[in-house]
């Protein structure tokens, strides 16, 4: 019995992808070995990685002047790698603070020696808002502007792409990567962990515009040296091969679904139905200002927190898993990534309605 898994990440994956991976886990495409066992220098894996990159470019509609890197260490690794690739120690970088993930990115940039200027800080609203786009003033000497399009914990999402002018725009897309069409030409660097919409934990997908490849410090760690990794097709060292393979399968599945236009529309519809159910009730509440509500991560509270444990226990009995909210926010959180079907959201809403009928 498969559950509906609302985990914020690692997260639900498409069942056909898992079934295919299971079927070929001891004999991959006639090689007589698992993809887990094959050399990353062999023709089969090189083709697998090249196919994943080509599929990513197609699905994302990525402009030709961007490189795609498959790197180890997740988004938190790139928190360290971005400053080391883009700015000297002591340089200035601008950050927008909309929650715990953007704050962590800024903290690590400081550790890497940057002068971090926070040009917008939403902590006063307890991270339930995004800034007015007209309020964003970028220091003239900023090496880049960093922001987090979707905050996984707060469930806050930018309804716009900030206008950074000539300053390179850098974004942590971890929890919204390939969840809808995006004009990537607006960005200088995009990065994100795969473990939400793109596959298993252990892989960061990094997109770098060509003109930003040669700004690295001499001591950037080798495995995060974007220029070297571009020249080595992300294989300076052994890449996380199984993660790249699964990413390729997931991108195939995304193309079978109709690509980002279809997937984005489905994601919007899933989120809207859950927000409508929450807003129609006095029993449930979501704290985020409507224009900044995330399609991906939807926190909600019960009017009486004493019922939280009952709610979660009953949900688990109904096959609705991983709904407990982040410890810093409390209550519940439903993450509705690409692989969450409309049936899963409908089952959650049915359960919420019934729970309110009994306990409300």
Q: Given the rule CB under 8 A, which residues bind its own copies? A: 1-3, 5, 7-13, 15, 18-19, 21-23, 25-27, 31-34, 36-40, 42, 72-77, 79-81, 108, 111-113, 193, 195, 199-203, 218-219, 221-223, 236-243, 246, 319, 321-322
41 is in an annotated binding site: yes
Beta carbon nearer to its own copies, 327 or 357: 327
195 is in an annotated binding site: yes
Three-state DSSP state, 71: strand
Residue 289 CA to residue 272 CA, distance in Å, equals 14
- In which element (H, E) is residue 43 found? helix 43-60
101 is in an annotated binding site: yes
Question: Which residue shows structure tokens 């030709």?
Answer: 64
Query: What is the smallest separation between the CB atom of 344 and its own copies, expressed in angstroms?
Result: 12
Which of 61, 106, 62, 50 is CA-nearest to residue 80?
106
Beta carbon nearer to its own copies, 28 or 283: 28
Has 172 been annotated as catalytic? yes
Cis peptide before 137 (omega within 30 of 0): no
238 is in an annotated binding site: yes
Has 196 been annotated as catalytic? yes
Query: What is the smallest separation between the CB atom of 6 and its own copies, expressed in angstroms?
Result: 10
Residue tagged active-site, from 28, 38, 101, 253: 101
Tokens standing for 126?
Answer: 């307890």
Residue tagged active-site, from 27, 28, 104, 172: 172
Query: What is the smallest separation between the CB atom of 218 and its own copies, expressed in angstroms?
Result: 7
In total, the chain counts a number of residues equal to 360
Residue 289 CA to residue 294 CA, distance in Å, equals 10
Residue 127 CA to residue 151 CA, distance in Å, equals 9
Query: What is the smallest separation between the CB atom of 265 and its own copies, expressed in angstroms?
Result: 24
Query: What is the smallest separation between the CB atom of 25 and its own copies, expressed in angstroms?
Result: 4
Residue 336 CA to residue 263 CA, distance in Å, equals 12
What are the backbone dihedrals phi and psi of residue 208, each rounded to the nearest 5 degrees, phi first? -125, 130
Beta carbon nearer to its own copies, 24 or 289: 24
Residue 40 CB burial class (10 angstroms; 0-12, 13-18, ≥19): middle
Beta carbon nearer to its own copies, 11 or 205: 11
Other Cβ atoms closer than 10 A to 77: 19
Beta carbon nearer to its own copies, 62 or 198: 198
Query: Quick check: 101 and 152 in contact, CB under 8 A?
Result: yes
Known binding-site residues for L-glutamate equal 41
Known binding-site residues for pyridoxal 5'-phosphate equal 75-76, 101, 152, 172, 195, 237-238
Give the catalytic positions in this structure.
101, 172, 196
């Amino acid at each position: 019995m498969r559950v509906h898994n609302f985990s914020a990440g690692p997260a639900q994956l498409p069942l056909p992808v898992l079934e295919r991976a299971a079927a070929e886990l001891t004999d991959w495409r006639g090689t007589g070995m698992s993809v887990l066992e094959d050399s990353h220098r062999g023709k089969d894996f090189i083709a697998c990685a090249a196919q994943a990159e080509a599929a990513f470019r197609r699905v994302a509609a990525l402009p030709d002047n961007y490189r795609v890197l498959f790197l180890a260490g997740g988004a938190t690794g790139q928190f360290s790698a971005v400053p080391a690739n883009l700015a000297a120690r002591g340089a200035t970088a601008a950050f927008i603070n909309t929650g715990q993930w953007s704050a962590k990115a800024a903290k690590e940039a400081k550790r890497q020696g940057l002068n971090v200027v926070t040009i917008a800080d939403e902590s006063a609203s307890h991270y339930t808002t995004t800034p007015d786009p007209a309020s964003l003033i970028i220091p003239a000497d900023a090496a880049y502007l960093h922001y987090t399009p979707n905050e996984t914990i707060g469930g806050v999402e930018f309804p716009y792409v900030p206008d950074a002018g000539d300053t390179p725009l850098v974004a942590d897309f971890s929890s919204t990567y390939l969840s809808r069409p995006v004009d990537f030409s607006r960005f200088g660097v995009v990065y994100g962990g795969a473990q939400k919409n793109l596959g298993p934990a252990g892989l960061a997908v990094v997109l770098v515009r060509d003109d930003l490849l040669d700004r690295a410090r001499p001591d950037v760690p080798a495995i995060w040296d974007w220029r070297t990794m571009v020249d080595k097709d992300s294989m300076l060292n052994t890449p996380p091969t199984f993660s790249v393979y699964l990413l390729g399968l997931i991108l195939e599945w995304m193309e079978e679904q109709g690509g980002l236009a279809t997937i984005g529309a489905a994601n919007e519809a899933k989120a809207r139905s859950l927000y409508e159910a929450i807003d129609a009730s006095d029993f449930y509440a979501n704290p985020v200002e409507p224009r900044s509500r995330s399609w991906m991560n939807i926190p909600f509270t019960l009017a009486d927190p004493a019922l939280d444990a009952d709610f979660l226990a009953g949900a688990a009995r109904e096959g609705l898993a991983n709904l407990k909210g982040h410890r810093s926010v409390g209550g519940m959180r439903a993450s509705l990534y690409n692989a969450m079907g409309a049936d899963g959201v409908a089952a959650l809403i049915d359960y919420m309605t019934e729970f309110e009928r009994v306990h409300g």
